[in-house]
Chain A
Amino acid sequence: MAGGINLQTNWSTKASNSISGKQFLQLFPAMAAISFFLIGPLTFILIYSFLTPGTYGGVEWQFSTESYLQFLFERDLITDELIFENAYLLVFLRSLVLALIATISCLLIGFPTAFFIATRSEHNRNMWVLLITVPYWVNLLIRTVSMLFILRDEGPINAALIGTGIISEPIHMAYTNFAIGMGLIYSYLPFMVLPVYASLERFDFRLMKAAYDLYAGRWSILLRVILPVVKPGLIAGSLLVFIPCLGAFIAPDILGGGKKLMIGNLIAMQFQASRNWPFGSAAAMILLTIVLIALTVAARQPRPGKEVA
């Protein structure tokens, strides 16, 4: 009987115990490594974002909020006045819009796919899930390059369209916002399908019968029964797509040809060509803040009760 054990686990979840010496020793290496080599860098980003850029890269140890102001304003060289300037704001807006479009597209593609998989037989489901998972493990750079390959002016899509005489001039798809969006969807689609599938898999499909019995049609069952129950999966999936899209670097870099910047590129540029570390750090801090807000909002979502057995 599990009576005694149950009591114990119930108790344990309240966790008033402090960590044991052995546990601490076992956790120490991983915690120390991450604290030093990840929390450390994040702290440096925070500090650097309030410093003054050095002449040849690096930083001057002089406090300044200039890096943050730089997002919205340009300082007139002569009068030292702040003049509103929207170039960087546009980069942020483009990132937000592209990330949103990618997330919504992934939802629209991902939910039906996840639903389709969840209604397969148990044996087949695993195969479908594997099919969806495998692309994620293929190098993101390679996948993006292959997307560029097919979208290019000389790529197979244009070649086929021209070859069949539908168009005479290639459609410029590469190096556009469209290409970036395609790249983002392509990169993070599995992130949407998998969590949505996970919650659909636990969905009790007898609820559909029950709703059907109570005179609900197919689409109102979808809207009023299924979607509310799998909402946590939809939120998790959206978050898993939105966050990496927002900080994406590879897709805009390869598919945008470096012309259509997103936040990720803007940050990277400051540490490479432009050598303005404080500005790059400030951009990173703003991105991190947006991500934290998104995570907090999602975490605040009320946890659904246990599924109806």
Chain B
Amino acid sequence: MSQPPSVQRTAICIDKVCKVYGPPDSGVVALHEVDLTIYDNEFFTLLGPSGCGKTTLLHLIAGFEDVTAGTIRLFGKDIVSLPPNKRPINTVFQHYALFPHMSVLENVAFGLKMKSVAADTAQARAQEMLELVQLQQFSHRMPNELSGGQQQRVAVARALAPHPKVLLLDEPLSALDLKLRQSMRDELKRIQKTTGITFIFVTHDQEEALTLSDRIAVIESGEIQQVAVPKELYEAPRNRFVAKFIGDVNLIDIEIDDMTDNGLVRVRTKSGDLIEAVPNGSGHKCGPGHVAIRPERLNVTRKGGDGILTGRVRELIYLGTDTQIIVETEGSYELTVRVQNAHQSHVDVSPGDIVHLRPDAGTVQLLAD
């Protein structure tokens, strides 16, 4: 499902990378053995809550920190022993880190100057980059004379100017307000398409990750939880962490009953309802487990029966476009159902009613843990 086309070249290959702060045997482990392959021309996102290790991984790729173990290859070449200034990788920093004593143009040309590119070529190239981010008229301003969004664009232009093979973006949108963030998203996507450079984007914002990325790696506690395209991540989360981290979800404790003929797994909820779930490919034994189902994938029906969950409506919450129904089941777990208000006729339930809920086919996902 997440297999890329075979023609894609590998840009970055991270192989069994560990990072421990302090003594290797007793220090703080920031990254356990991480394996990751990022393809050329990809918009790849590292997604996770703060402190999960995603920034550490980014710093290891950039070279600001040394790996404790493992290798990082850039187009096949091992780069772990190279200092940051010898890696053809550039970074857009979280707070931009624009040099305050240099003009916009000097900032953008800095990398080229350090690479000993002739001054006039560097100037021309810097101007070109400023045009790319639509700031050509600001080239002689100082960074503190620019708005947050403009500083952001300068940071992107500066990092792109030396033609890096990979661009790293460390939560570049987090310092912007909501409106600006949305327009910068489009801008980043456009720049990535125009330049064809591999982007590695770090964020804790799942919406940002889903809308921008070709593929996403979800990281938690220094380990990769799942790598997938956005759709798969949302619809087929591998484990409870991913399911909860991306979007709203109903997590249900179940017992695995047996396999069905069509490759699905039959599971039993605590209230005794039997439903069919999609296995996640890691092989299942009978016993306790969890399934995930998105609230909008549950439909209120009149009849009970096989493959149907049953419960009593506790609360209706009106959300504008949707109505959220909180249903209490006999198994003493709660289900959240989301019904679009355009289909108002389906929501003629009131608190206290017994309701039956039918999941859409193939949307109940059995989790690995």
Bound Cα distance from A14 to B22, whole angstroms: 10
Do residues A1 and B51 form an inter-chain contact, with CB atoms below 8 A? yes
Chain A residues 1-37 with CB under 8 Å of chain B are 1-8, 10-11, 14, 16
Chain B residue nearest in CB terms to A10: B28
Do residues B28 and A11 form an inter-chain contact, with CB atoms below 8 A? yes
The winner among A2, A4, A10 for most chain B CB atoms within 10 A is: A4
B55 contacts which of A1, A11, A14 (Cβ < 8 Å)? A1
Known A-B contacts A11-B27, A11-B28; the reply to A3 vs B52 at CB < 8 A is yes
Bound Cα distance from A222 to B51, whole angstroms: 41
Do residues B50 and A3 form an inter-chain contact, with CB atoms below 8 A? yes
Bound Cα distance from A14 to B171, whole angstroms: 29
Bound Cα distance from A4 to B49, whole angstroms: 12
Do residues A4 and B22 form an inter-chain contact, with CB atoms below 8 A? no
Do residues B204 and A7 form an inter-chain contact, with CB atoms below 8 A? no
The answer, yes or no, to whether B5 is at the interface (CB within 8 Å) is: no
Chain B residue nearest in CB terms to A1: B55
With a CB–CB cut-off of 8 A, which chain A residues contact B56?
3-4, 7
Do residues A2 and B55 form an inter-chain contact, with CB atoms below 8 A? yes
Bound Cα distance from A3 to B57, whole angstroms: 11
The winner among A5, A6, A7, A16 for most chain B CB atoms within 10 A is: A7
Q: Mark A107-133, 1 if CB is under 8 A from B, else 0.
A: 000000000000000000000000000
Do residues B21 and A1 form an inter-chain contact, with CB atoms below 8 A? no
Do residues B23 and A16 form an inter-chain contact, with CB atoms below 8 A? yes
Chain A residue nearest in CB terms to B170: A1
The interface size of chain B toward A, counting residues with CB under 8 Å, comes to: 21
Do residues A16 and B22 form an inter-chain contact, with CB atoms below 8 A? yes
The interface size of chain A toward B, counting residues with CB under 8 Å, comes to: 12
Do residues B94 and A4 form an inter-chain contact, with CB atoms below 8 A? no
With a CB–CB cut-off of 8 A, which chain A residues contact B65?
4, 8
Known A-B contacts A6-B51, A16-B23; the reply to A1 vs B202 at CB < 8 A is yes
With a CB–CB cut-off of 8 A, which chain B residues contact A3?
50-56
Bound Cα distance from A10 to B171, whole angstroms: 22
With a CB–CB cut-off of 8 A, which chain B residues contact A2?
50, 55, 94
Chain B residues 12-45 with CB under 8 Å of chain A are 19, 21-23, 27-28, 30
Bound Cα distance from A1 to B94, whole angstroms: 7
Give the Cβ gap from A13 to chain B, nearest Cβ, in Å.
Answer: 11
Do residues A1 and B171 form an inter-chain contact, with CB atoms below 8 A? yes
Do residues B202 and A4 form an inter-chain contact, with CB atoms below 8 A? no
Known A-B contacts A7-B21, A8-B21, A16-B23; the reply to A1 vs B28 at CB < 8 A is no
Do residues A7 and B28 form an inter-chain contact, with CB atoms below 8 A? yes
Give the Cβ gap from B209 to chain A, nearest Cβ, in Å.
Answer: 13
The answer, yes or no, to whether B312 is at the interface (CB within 8 Å) is: no
The answer, yes or no, to whether B59 is at the interface (CB within 8 Å) is: yes
Do residues A5 and B55 form an inter-chain contact, with CB atoms below 8 A? yes
Bound Cα distance from A16 to B202, whole angstroms: 31
Chain A residues 144-185 with CB under 8 Å of chain B are none
Chain A residue nearest in CB terms to B28: A7
Do residues B59 and A4 form an inter-chain contact, with CB atoms below 8 A? yes
Do residues B22 and A11 form an inter-chain contact, with CB atoms below 8 A? yes
Known A-B contacts A1-B171, A1-B204; the reply to A7 vs B94 at CB < 8 A is no
With a CB–CB cut-off of 8 A, which chain A residues contact B19?
4
Bound Cα distance from A4 to B46, whole angstroms: 14
Bound Cα distance from A3 to B59, whole angstroms: 11
Chain A residue nearest in CB terms to B56: A4
Chain A residue nearest in CB terms to B204: A1
Q: Mark A205-228, 1 if CB is under 8 A from B, else 0.
A: 000000000000000000000000
With a CB–CB cut-off of 8 A, which chain B residues contact A10?
28
Q: Mark B49-79, 1 if CB is under 8 A from A, else 0.
A: 0111111100100000100000000000000
Bound Cα distance from A153 to B19, whole angstroms: 76
Bound Cα distance from A8 to B51, whole angstroms: 11
Chain B residue nearest in CB terms to A4: B56
Give the Cβ gap from B311 to chain A, nearest Cβ, in Å.
Answer: 39
Bound Cα distance from A3 to B51, whole angstroms: 4
The winner among B56, B65, B170 for most chain A CB atoms within 10 A is: B56
What is A's interface to B at a CB cutoff of 8 Å? 1-8, 10-11, 14, 16
In the complex, besides A1-B51, A8-B65, 15 extra interface pairs with C-beta distance below 8 angstroms are A1-B54, A1-B94, A1-B170, A1-B202, A1-B204, A2-B50, A4-B19, A4-B59, A4-B65, A5-B55, A6-B51, A10-B28, A11-B21, A11-B22, A14-B22
Subset of 26 A-B contacts with CB under 8 Å:
A1-B50, A1-B51, A1-B55, A1-B202, A1-B204, A2-B50, A2-B55, A2-B94, A3-B50, A3-B53, A3-B54, A3-B56, A4-B19, A4-B53, A4-B55, A4-B56, A4-B65, A5-B55, A6-B51, A7-B21, A7-B28, A7-B51, A7-B56, A8-B21, A8-B65, A14-B22
What is B's interface to A at a CB cutoff of 8 Å? 19, 21-23, 27-28, 30, 50-56, 59, 65, 94, 170-171, 202, 204
Which 10 pairs between the two chains have the least Cβ-Cβ distance?
A4-B56, A3-B51, A1-B55, A4-B55, A11-B21, A11-B22, A3-B50, A1-B50, A7-B28, A8-B21
